[in-house]
Every structure is written in C-alpha cells, then in structure tokens.
Amino acid sequence: MKILAIETSCDETAVAILEATGNLENPKFTVLGDSLYSQAHLHAEYGGVYPTLAKREHAKNLIPLLKTALQEAGLFEENPTELSEKTNKILEREPELLGQFIQIVSKMKIPDIDAIAVTQGPGLAPALWVGLNFAKALSINWNKSLIPINHMEGHVLSPLFKKGTKIKFPAISLLISGGHTQLVHVKDWFDYEIIGETKDDAVGEAFDKVARMLDLPYPGGPEISKLADIARSKELETDKSLPRPMKHSGDLNFSFSGLKTAVLYRVSGKKLDGIKKAKIAREFEDAVVDVLTSKTSEAIKQTKAKTLILGGGVIANKEIRKHMQILAHDLKIQLLMPEMKLATDNAIMIGIAGYMRFLDEKISPENIEGLKADGNLRL
Ligand code: KG4
Ligand code: ZN
C-alpha cells in the first residue's frame, strides 16, 4: 500500500510517500517521495523553537512540500477536484494554509495513495494542529483513511526501515533529541511504558545551552562534540569534577539542568581560549555519556531487554554511539539504530508507524473531524 505521511511536531515540516508491504514480522518500505524543510536556522536566534513561528512556517510550507513529494513519487497530476464544504471549517484556524489549499489542492487529481499518517503528538501544540488539520482536510477531500501517530512511536519503529530488521522484545528505546529524553520499555508491538525521562532539559537542549556558554553556534551539539573530540585526540588533561545528575537517584529519570549550571559556574567571568573550551566540552560530554549509559544499562537489566533501540538527533553524537555499542555488546543484546536521516524528525518514520498500525488494525478513527492534536500525548 501507499502511505502519505506528515510530520509537524517541532521545527521540521516533512511530507513523505512510502510504499509499504509485508507483515509485522517482515515489513518492507520504499520511499517514493520525501520532502523536508527544517526551520532550525529560523529559530536559532531565539535559542530554541519558537511555537508561533513554527506554526506559521508549517502552514506556509506544507502544500509546496506535498506537491514536491507527490511529483517525486510520480503521483502528481493536474485535474480539478471539487473541494468538500468541510475544508473551510477544518482549516479555519490556518488561513494561509486554507488559501493555498483552495488554490492548489483543488487543481490536483486525487493521488493514488491508500492512507494518510500524521503526527498527533507529542510536540508543540500549535505546530501539531497545523499538520493534523492539513491531514484531516486531505483525508476528507480525497476520501482516504487517516492514521494518527504518536511521534515517539515513529522514533521507536524507525529502524524497521532497514530491510530484515527484527525487534526482539522486550526492548528498551533511548530517545534523545533537542526536545526529548526518554527511556521507553517496549514490551511488545504497540505496548509501551515510559520508564525514565528528563525532569528538566532534554539532552540536546543541554548541549545547545552549553554551546552558547562557550560562544559556539546553534545547534550546539555537533560543535561541542567536535571540540570534545579534539580534547580527546590531543589528550588534554581534564578533571572529572562536573556532576552526574541523578546517576544514583535509584530511578531511571534524568536531569541535565544542574550539569548545565555547573558548566556555567566553571566558565562565567573567564576568558576561554580554544584549549579551555575543548576541555570543558569534553568534560560535559563525558558527564552526559556517563549518565546516559548508566541509566540505559539499568533499564536493560531491569526489563531483561533483548534489544536496545536508539533514536533522536543526539544519536549523531559519536561518543554516545560508541558507548551504547559497548553497552549492547557487554550486555549481549541487539542494538538498533536508524540511519541519521531517520534519527532526526522526519515523515518517513511516521509512515512506518502508520503502516505497522494499519497491519495491526489499530486505525480508522471514527470521527476524523473530531480528532485532536495532543502536545502531551504519552506512549
Ligand atoms: O532530533 P533533532 O534533530 O531535533 C529536535 O529535537 O528538534 O535533534 C536536534 C538536537 C539538537 O539539540 C542538537 O544540538 C543535537 O540534537 N545534536 C547533537 C549532535 N548532533 C545534533 N548533540 C550532540 N552531539 C551531536 N553530534
Ligand atoms: Zn522527535
């Protein structure tokens, strides 16, 4: 079947079209069309994602991205379609999107797709609403079933993109990005429990904030990581005095704000040269890796997990990946990681989750119009 997938939970606007076949044990995915616009550079000056701006950008870019994805998939044809009267009501809160919808979608032939999967939550509510309302409008006008997807499930299932991947249950998923830090106990297909999460900043957010203290550009994660690598390769002497917040808290939760504050004390009022910055970057990264691996290890032991699944933009971090590889090897469990393009927010993972839900028949919302976005949706 062909699935159109839409993702707008944060600062990436993404539309993808997947061809999906096979069953739960052996799904196969081919990307027919994929278009993504990252707003990250627009939010850079705010030091984080600015919800109103994100919503406006999603509304502006969704239809051009849809058109590009359909064209790439060879599914775009011009042919007038009469729009449903419900369109105005569904898109009344998104006037710019409604304007483009009336102008562009009304001239498109209904594409040969079977279902639409869309992120329902969690994320920034205004951003989620734009994507969901857009998906509802398409679903009603094109008479296609709509599959609401939990964004975190998208991250968990993203490694399935690689052919032959098998998740051995139970699994532990460590999801780390600019917006989330979670340990998810994946007991079986679609059976999740969040067993650990951050009490304050997300890991990526901590990287970004520490980078700002060191006058490094946004997003700061890759910059910190580069400097930390330099400190390691030059074998610069570092001390281990930065805290490992909640490492011994006895639960699986995280906290990164204390670590960030400790770095702030270390740097404030000092002139930092490249060497000093590299040392601090390494000390910070080491502290993060230490906490992440110890909590993940504990989660695996507690749940007797057979698979460790990593997801989120922070898995681009080499040191974190290296230590997760060592951990999985030591505990003799399978490690699954999506390719980087699927680790950061994207629509392909939403399509993958949509197909798995379709196979499990956990879809078909009876009331498409009444479907609500939920910024705090839990797995
Ligand atoms: O999943 P993602 O692309 O998007 C959002 O969360 O919105 O994750 C982005 C986060 C940013 O905080 C960025 O600094 C962090 O991932 N990041 C990294 C690295 N590459 C990206 N953090 C540490 N090391 C990296 N190499
Ligand atoms: Zn995400």
Instruction: Tell me what pLDDT residue 192 has.
Output: 98
| Ligand 1 contact via 48 beta carbon (within 6 Å) | no
CB 216 within 8 A of CB 224: yes
Instruction: Tell me what pLDDT residue 364 has.
Output: 61
For ligand 1, mutation pick of 177, 214, 216, 346 (most atoms within 8 Å of CB): 177
Return d(Cα 71, Cα 104) in angstroms, integer: 14
CB 117 within 8 A of CB 362: no
Instruction: Tell me what pLDDT residue 362 has.
Output: 67
Tell which atom from ligand 1 comes closest to the C-alpha of 12: 7
3-state helix, strand, coil in the chain (%, to 5): 45, 20, 35
| Ligand 1 contact via 220 beta carbon (within 6 Å) | yes
Instruction: Tell me what pLDDT residue 45 has.
Output: 79
CA nearest ligand 1 atom 18, residue: 221
| Ligand 1 contact via 12 beta carbon (within 6 Å) | no
Tell the residue number behind the tokens 């991250």, with chain if given. Answer: 155
Ligand 1 center from residue 276 Cα (angstroms) = 23
CA nearest ligand 1 atom 1, residue: 313
Return d(Cα 7, Cα 117) in angstroms, integer: 9
Ligand 1 center from residue 76 Cα (angstroms) = 34
Say how many residues make up the chain: 379
Q: In sequence order, what are the residues at sequence separation of 6 or more whose Cβ sits closer than 8 angstroms to the Cβ of residue 83?
A: 101, 102, 105, 106, 141
- pLDDT in single tens digits along all 379 residues of the chain: 999 999 999 999 999 999 999 999 999 999 999 999 999 888 887 777 888 999 999 999 999 999 999 999 999 999 998 999 999 999 999 999 999 999 999 999 999 999 999 999 999 999 999 999 999 999 999 999 999 999 999 999 999 999 999 999 999 999 999 989 999 999 999 999 999 999 999 999 999 999 999 999 888 999 999 999 999 999 998 888 899 999 999 999 999 999 999 999 999 989 999 999 999 999 999 999 999 999 999 999 999 999 999 999 999 999 999 999 999 999 999 999 999 999 999 999 999 999 999 999 766 667 888 999 999 999 9
Instruction: Tell me what pLDDT residue 39 has.
Output: 93
Tell the residue number behind the tokens 């627009």, with chain if given. Answer: 42
Tell which atom from ligand 1 comes closest to the C-alpha of 205: 12
DSSP category for residue 198:
B
Per-residue burial over 53-80, b = 16 or more CB atoms within 10 Å of its CB, e = otherwise: bbbbbbbbbbbebbbbbbebbebbeeee
| Ligand 1 contact via 123 beta carbon (within 6 Å) | no
CB 194 within 8 A of CB 379: yes
For ligand 1, mutation pick of 314, 339, 341, 349 (most atoms within 8 Å of CB): 314
Instruction: Tell me what pLDDT residue 203 has.
Output: 97
- How close are the terminal C-alpha atoms of the chain, in Å? 26
Instruction: Tell me what pLDDT residue 243 has.
Output: 96
Tell which atom from ligand 1 comes closest to the C-alpha of 345: 1
Instruction: Tell me what pLDDT residue 342 has.
Output: 97
Return d(Cα 253, Cα 251) in angstroms, integer: 6
Instruction: Tell me what pLDDT residue 361 has.
Output: 78
